[in-house]
Amino acid sequence: MRFEETLYPHWAQVFKIQQVLHHEHTAFQDLVIFESAAFGRVLALDGVIQATEADEPHYHEMMVHVPLLAHGTVRSVCVVGGGDGGIVREVLKHDGVRATLVEIDAAVIEMSRRYLPALSSGAFDDPRVTIVIADGIRYMTETEATFDAIIVDSTDPQGPGEVLFRESFYADCRRHLNPGGILITQNGVPFLQPEEVGQTWRRLAPHFPDVWFFVTAVPSYVGGLMTLGWGSLDPAHRTRPLDVIQARAAGLHTRYYTPEIHVASFALPRYIERLLV
């Protein structure tokens, strides 16, 4: 049995399935969790790989530790999406930080808790975490809460995740950031999805004094480097020197992230820089 990803019309990756652990059509999307010899347990939504046990730290650690260590005094984080629990797990590695997880599809949390427990590592039950089952767009429109960092762990801009790439959503996120706050977004693989980076650049720029991207390499997100969007209310956050990041990261246990990778990740290949117009 095989799983063929359907993200691109001209390109596909195929996984050999050892066992299908769960498959359902939720109220919002098609959800499947299966066992792979190479990647361990795999979560896919609407035919697109979302997380694998083997390489999820490449994504989750960078989404969290780059902004939190660059900021230095984060105490509150909102995670939009991220129902597999990996982002919240990494947030809780930082002392004194509380997290609000806003996930539209309760089934993603329930099935990830059951079949992918290593991703959350108990984070769903941690008293520092508040879980809100809600549309991220509506939550950002209606909430009165503010945060030091907002991390948008969305699917690609299709299905329920499409609205999380709109400028109006970024503007709402900006309103709910505390002074010096940082917004992080998922922006795909620009070698195959160049429009995501360009659109996000143009939509973030009117609302943040510092807009850029940083990169990570996630083997199951095929097509080269993955870009993560950065919108900061304090331009100094992005240029923290290595020794500062090293001091802040002391005692942090990771599988991918290092302070050296943190600093280097903001150096973009020319083909990505050319999309920022």
Residue 66 scores a pLDDT above 90: yes
Residue 182 scores a pLDDT above 70: yes
Question: Which pLDDT band, with edges at 50, 70 and 90, does 164 fall under?
Answer: confident
Q: What is the mean pLDDT of residues 206-212?
A: 98
* One-letter amino acid of 195: E
229: left (phi over 0), alpha (psi -120 to 50) or beta: beta
CB atoms within 10 A of CB 247: 11
- For the record, the structure tokens of 277 come out as 């117009």
In DSSP notation, 107-172 reads HHHHHHHHH-HHHHTTGGG-TTEEEEES-HHHHHHH----EEEEEEE---SSGGGGGGGSHHHHHH
Rounded-to-integer distance, Cα 33 and Cα 23, Å: 6
Measuring CA to CA, which residue among 147, 152, 171 is closest to residue 73? 147
The CB-side HSE value for 202 (13 A sphere, CA atoms) comes to: 8
pLDDT of 13-34, one tens digit each?
Answer: 999 999 999 999 999 999 999 9
SS3 content of the chain, % helix, strand, coil (to 5): 35, 30, 35
Rounded-to-integer distance, Cα 210 and Cα 233, Å: 7
pTM of the model: 0.96
Measuring CA to CA, which residue among 124, 136, 128 is closest to residue 79? 136
pLDDT of residue 134: 96
Whether 109 and 87 have beta carbons less than 8 Å apart is answered as: no
Cα angle, residue 176 at apex, residues 156 and 69 outer, rounded to 5°:
75
pLDDT of residue 161: 59
pLDDT of 69-101, one tens digit each?
Answer: 999 999 999 999 999 999 999 999 999 999 999
Which residues lie below 8 Å from residue 96, measured CB to CB, with a gap of 6+? Answer: 75
Share of the chain above pLDDT 90, in %: 92
Measuring CA to CA, which residue among 129, 201, 209 is closest to residue 121? 129
**What domains are there in the chain, each with its CATH number?**
2-52 (2.30.140.10), 56-273 (3.40.50.150)
> Is residue 210 annotated as part of the catalytic site, yes or no?
no
Catalytic residue selected from 148, 153, 156, 172? 153
